[in-house]
Amino acid sequence: MDFLTSMTPAGGVAAAMLVALIAYALLGGADYGAGVWDLLARGPRAEAQRELIAHAIGPVWEANHVWLIVVVVLLFTSFPEAFTVVMTTLHVPLSLMLIGVVLRGSAFTFRSYDATELARRRWNRVFSIPSVVTPVLLGAVIGAIATGEPGRVAEAGGPVPLFSTWLRPFPIAVGLFALNIFAYVAAVYLTLETDDPALRDDFRRKALISAATLGAVAWAVHLLAKDSAPLVYEGLDRASWGAPLRYATGAMAVAAIVALALRWFAMARLAAAAQVALILWGAAAAQYPYLVPPHLDLTRGAAPAIVHKLMLIALGLGSLILVPSLVYLFRVFKGHTFRAGRRDEDESVRPTPA
C-alpha cells in the first residue's frame, strides 16, 4: 500500500484520467469498433450484422461518449499547461477528430428517425466512415504526444507547425493500433449480443482476425517506438513492474484468443477488456511522470494542489451518483449478455428507440 501514502493529489487526478481513458476505450472505443464492422459488413448476413450493431450500442451510445469529456475537463482543470500545449501543437488532428465525432454522433441518431430506407442507409455511411477515421486521429494524437515532438515545439516557442508534430510514422501507427483495438473489443463484445449461432460465429471470426492483426500492429508500434519515442520505449523497462505488466498483457491476449477458440465468449470478453486496460496502463506507466514529454510532468505547469484536491473530492462525490447510474443502465440493457442461460425471456423485448 506504498502508493497510497506516496501518491500526490496531482497523481490521484492523473490516475483518474487514466481510468476515464480506459473506460472510454472499453465503452466508447467499442462503439467506434462497431462502426468499423458496420462498414465492413459483407455477405448474406450483412444486414443482420448491422442491425445487431445498432441494437447493441443504441441505448448506451450517449453515455459511452461522456468519458472523453471527463478526460478533457480533468486535463484542463488540473494540468492547464499540458492541455494548452496539446491543443496548440495538435490543433489539426484534434479538429479533424472532432469533425468525425460530430458526424458519427449525429448520424447514428439520425438513422433511427429518418423516413426512408435509402436515407437510413446513407446515414449509416456517415456513421461508419468517420468511425474508422476518428480513432486513427485519436491514436495519432496520443502517439504524437509520446514522441515528445509537441512538447519540444511548445518549449521552443516560435510558429506552430500544423502537420509535422503528428503526420509521422509512429503517431499514425499508434492511430492504426487504436483503430485495431477498438475493432477487436467490439467484435468480442458482439459475440455476446446475439442468439443466432451463424451471426455469433461471424463476430467470433472477426474477433480472431483482429486479434491477430492487433499483434502485428503492436509489433510495428514497438519497433517504431525505439527511435521515435525513446522516452516511452525505455520507460517501461525503467519501471520496476514494467516486466510483470507486459507479461500480464500478453497472458490476457492469449487467454482471449483461447477463449474465443473454445467459444467461451464471456471469458473472452473479460480477457480482452483486461488486455486493453493493461495496454493503456502500460502506456501510461511508460510515460510516467510525464503528461507531455519531455518537459511537462505532473508538477510542471500543473494547477495548485488545492485544485487537485477539490477535483478528487468532486470525483468521489460524483461517483456516488455515477456508478449506480451506470450499473443500472448496463443492467437494463446489457443484462442479457451476462446471463447466458436466461437469454430467451430477456431477449423478448429488443431495445428500439421510442
Partner 1 sequence: MTNLLAARLQMAMSLGFHIIFAAIGIALPLMMCVAEACWLRTGDPIYRTLAKRWAKGAAILFAVGAVSGTVLSFELGLLWPTFMKFAGPIIGLGFGLEGFAFFTEAIFLGVYLYAWDRIPPPAHWAAGAIVAASGALSGVLVVSVNGWMNTPTGFTLIDGVATDINPPAALMNPAFVSEALHMTLAAYAATGLLVAGVHALMLRKDRENPFHRRALGIALAVGGVASVLQPMSGHYAAQVVAETQPPKLAAMEGQFQTERRAPLRIGGLPDAKARTTSYALEIPAGLSILAYNDPDAEVRGLDAFPADEQPPVAVVHLAFQVMVACGMAMMAVSLWAVVSWWRTKRLPTGRAFLAAVALASPLGMIAIEAGWTVTEVGRQPWIIQGVMRTTEAVTTVPGLWWSFAAYTALYAGLGVVVVMLLLHQFRSSPRADAPAGEARRWTS
Nearest approach, Cβ of residue 171 and partner 1 (Å) = 18
Contact 103, 126 (CB under 8 A): yes
- 262 is a site residue for partner 1 (CB under 8 A): no
Answer for which of 233, 245, 315, 334 binds partner 1 (CB under 8 A) is 315
Site pattern 162..191 for partner 1 (x: CB under 8 A)? x-----------------------------
Does position 102 interact with partner 1 (CB under 8 A)? The reply is: yes
User: Least Å distance between CB 98 and partner 1?
Assistant: 5
The distance of closest approach from Cβ of residue 335 to partner 1 in the complex, given in angstroms and rounded to an integer, is 10
| Burial of 132 from C-beta contacts in 10 A (0-12 / 13-18 / 19+) | buried
Q: Does 77 bind partner 1 (CB under 8 A)?
A: yes
Euclidean distance between CA atoms 218 and 229, whole angstroms? 14
Q: Which is nearer to partner 1, 56 or 272 (CB)?
A: 56
Contact predicate 142/22, CB 8 Å: no
Q: Rounded CA gap, 192 and 52, in Å?
A: 11
Residue from the set 314, 339, 340, 342 that interacts with partner 1 by CB under 8 A = 314
- Contact (CB, 8 A) for 305 and 231: no
- Rounded to a whole number of angstroms, the minimum distance from the CB of residue 123 to partner 1 is 9
- Partners of residue 209 on adjacent β-strands: none
> Considering the rule CB under 8 A, would residue 108 count as an interface residue with partner 1?
yes
CA 47 to each of CA 112, 161, 188, 202, 205: distance values in angstroms, whole numbers, following the listed order? 15, 44, 19, 12, 17
Cα–Cα distances (Å) from 229 to 88, 139, 242, 245, 287, in that order, read 20, 14, 17, 19, 10
Q: Which of 167, 208, 220, 326 binds partner 1 (CB under 8 A)?
A: 326
Closest CB to partner 1 among 78 and 124?
Answer: 78
Q: What is the smallest separation between the CB atom of 307 and partner 1, expressed in angstroms?
A: 4
C-alpha 288/C-alpha 95 separation (Å) is 27
Rank residues 1 and 115 by Cβ distance to partner 1 and give the closer one: 115
User: Which residue's entry shows cell 491477430?
Assistant: 212
For residue 70, list its beta bridge partners.
Answer: none
Q: Is 234 in the site for partner 1 (CB under 8 A)?
A: no
What character string, x for contact with partner 1 (CB under 8 A) and - otherwise, covers 55-74?
---xxxxxx-xx-xxx-xxx
Identify which of residues 248 and 310 has a Cβ nearer to partner 1 in the complex: 310
Nearest to 136 by CA among 167, 91, 163: 167
Cell of 234: 525505455
Residue with cell 494524437: 141
Selected from 12, 19, 39, 110, the binder of partner 1 by CB under 8 A is: 110
84 binds partner 1 (CB under 8 A): yes
Query: Residue 109 is inside which H or E element, if any?
Result: helix 91-113
Do the strands 290-292 and 296-297 form a parallel or antiparallel pair, or are they unpaired?
antiparallel
Q: Please work out the total of residues on this chain that contact partner 1, with binding judged by CB under 8 A.
A: 66
Among 42, 321, 344, 345, binds partner 1 (CB under 8 A): 321
Min dist CB 125 to partner 1, Å, is 14
Residue 311 interacts with partner 1 (CB under 8 A): yes or no: yes
Of 151, 170, 156, 190, the residue nearest 52 (C-alpha)? 190
Nearest of 81, 72, 85 to residue 138 by alpha carbon = 72
Alpha-carbon span 311 to 11, nearest angstrom: 12
Smallest distance, partner 1 to C-beta of residue 48, A:
20
Residue ranges in contact with partner 1 by CB under 8 A:
58-63, 65-66, 68-70, 72-74, 76-78, 80-81, 83-84, 86-88, 91, 94-95, 98-99, 101-103, 105-106, 108-110, 112-115, 159-160, 162, 303-304, 306-307, 310-311, 314-315, 318, 321-322, 325-326, 328-329, 332-333, 349, 351-354
